[in-house]
Amino acid sequence: MMKEETPRANRFHIGLFGRRNSGKSSLVNMLTGQQVAVVSDVPGTTTDVVLKNIELPGVGASVLVDTAGYDDEGELGGLRVRQTVNAARRVDLALIIVSGLPDGAEKEKAWAERFRADDIPVLYIYNKVDEDGGSHADAWCMTLGATEVVSVSARTGEGRDRLLSAMAEVYRRTDEVEDLTGNLAGEGDTVVLVMPQDIQAPKGRLILPQVQTLRNLLDKRCTALCCTADRLSATLSVLSSPPSLIITDSQVFPTVEALCPPQTRLTSFSVLFARQKGDIRQFLQGAEALCALRPDARVLIAEACTHVPQHEDIGRVKLPRLLRCKFGEALHIDIVSGNDFPEDLSAYDLVIHCGACMFTRRHVLNRLRRARACGVPVTNYGVAIAALTGILDKVAVPE
């Protein structure tokens, strides 16, 4: 039986942040109705970021992100706080959990400002209302300068519906790109997907971008044909008329472009995800900076997923080869993967990011914002390969 589950990257990420023993983990357990997180009266029980998939009313597929207290102390405490900081950059909604009487709320204010700077919405949650009847919630509201503090009890479940409604309202206001192919494909269109099944593709399965693109086309009632690059010519020959669109893996862009009929639009999985996960205009501007790099420039290649590098890896082998072929061996290239991403990007002349199918849109936009703040241009794997091979002007970008 096939297991159907929304990929974590496509889920709405809700982070729980607060001081030690404020009841973050208890709140996770209340929302899930399970003992997902270990709880106790001992401050600092949660030491690592805990992720739990959940379906929430009014939101749908979500991930609850439980974090260590941001007031943790000592050497290990500092490491835990850094994990919390990294988690904060990946959430779509931040719940700041408070309890007891406010003591100036400087940490809460500082974290709220951190989230606002990253354009992440914040909900304040007053927990443990069963212990004091909620008498301190108004004091927190005034101290924080908030319009609302949602009062709940993780122990009794009081206020759960109010919290769910508040989270659903935030979700309704989020700016998500739902249609992966946008205006490039419509009902009745024939679309060819060129999908190399190389050593990096999981045996017996398709990689996530291919699956999601295929599902998008089926939802739009398109006719989708799939082939590998070596079978593209044969696939085109059996069609009575050229397809409306060809979507290719970026690695075979030049091969596919050479076979693409003049009236057929061409794009790549990476370009589609560049628009859905980030800012396609910023990536196109980054391509201009790419073409103008100095021979001794410093480039950062950023991969979203962590994997053991394999033969002809696109980020670690193919892109560096293309870059050095164009700009020379003096080009300095650094490579990071997963959540490793430099705090300070100012040393770089360009960042080339992968399609980010494993990241949330908020996570990618956060990285793009940090790059803009440092004045560093960013482009995307697919856009970069098209630019380096001289066919970017022939690539269709969805709107």
Same domain, 250 and 294: no
Count of domains for the chain: 3
**In the predicted structure, residue 309 carries a pLDDT above the cut 60:** no
126, 149 contact by CB (below 8 A): yes
Tens of pLDDT, residues 9-55:
889 999 999 998 888 888 998 898 866 555 445 454 445 788 999 99
Residue 44 falls within a domain, yes or no? yes
What are residue 60's phi and psi, to 5 degrees?
A: 90, -145
For residue 201, the model assigns a pLDDT of: 57
Which of the 8 DSSP states describes residue 240?
Answer: S
Same domain, 298 and 265: no
Same domain, 219 and 119: no
Among 244, 271, 298, give the residue marking a domain's end. 271
Same domain, 147 and 29: yes
Complete edge-to-edge strand list for the sheet that includes strand 245-248? 223-227, 190-194, 245-248, 265-268
Residue 281 falls within a domain, yes or no? no
Same domain, 48 and 151: yes
289, 395 contact by CB (below 8 A): no
Beta strands in 11-166 (DSSP E): 12-18, 50-56, 60-66, 93-98, 122-126, 150-151
Same domain, 292 and 262: no
Residue the block writes with tokens 């291919």: 210
Among 103, 137, 172, give the residue marking a domain's end. 172
Same domain, 17 and 62: yes
The Cα 218–Cα 244 span in angstroms is 15
Return the bridge partners of 195, or none: none
For residue 96, the model assigns a pLDDT of: 95
- What CATH number does residue 79 fall under? 3.40.50.300
Residue 389 falls within a domain, yes or no? yes
275, 368 contact by CB (below 8 A): no
Residue 105 falls within a domain, yes or no? yes
For residue 6, the model assigns a pLDDT of: 77
For residue 308, the model assigns a pLDDT of: 54
For residue 332, the model assigns a pLDDT of: 97
Q: What percent of the chain has pLDDT over 70?
A: 91
pTM for the model stands at: 0.78
The Cα 300–Cα 349 span in angstroms is 8
Residue the block writes with tokens 């059996």: 238
Same domain, 22 and 110: yes
Q: Is 193 helix (H, G, I), strand (E, B) or coil?
A: strand
Residue 209 falls within a domain, yes or no? yes
Tens of pLDDT, residues 220-260:
999 999 999 999 999 999 999 999 999 998 888 999 999 99
Same domain, 309 and 188: no
323, 314 contact by CB (below 8 A): no
Instruction: List the structure tokens of 226.
Output: 């799939």
Residue 259 falls within a domain, yes or no? yes
Among 127, 154, 172, give the residue marking a domain's end. 172
Query: What counts of helices (H) and strands (E) characterise the chain?
Result: 14, 14
Residue 280 falls within a domain, yes or no? no
State the pLDDT confidence band at 2, using cuts at 50, 70 and 90. Answer: very low
* 269-277 and 381-388 helices, crossing angle to 10°: 130
What's at 181, amino acid-wise? T
Same domain, 318 and 379: yes
For residue 350, the model assigns a pLDDT of: 98
Which domain range does residue 99 map to? Answer: 8-172
Tens of pLDDT, residues 252-292:
899 999 999 999 999 999 899 888 888 999 999 999 999 99
For residue 169, the model assigns a pLDDT of: 93
Same domain, 132 and 186: no
Same domain, 263 and 245: yes
**In the predicted structure, residue 204 carries a pLDDT above the cut 80:** no
Q: Which residues contact 325 (CB under 8 A, 6 or more apart)?
A: none
The Cα 201–Cα 4 span in angstroms is 20
Tens of pLDDT, residues 378-398:
999 989 999 999 999 999 999
99, 23 contact by CB (below 8 A): yes
**In the predicted structure, residue 3 carries a pLDDT above the cut 60:** no
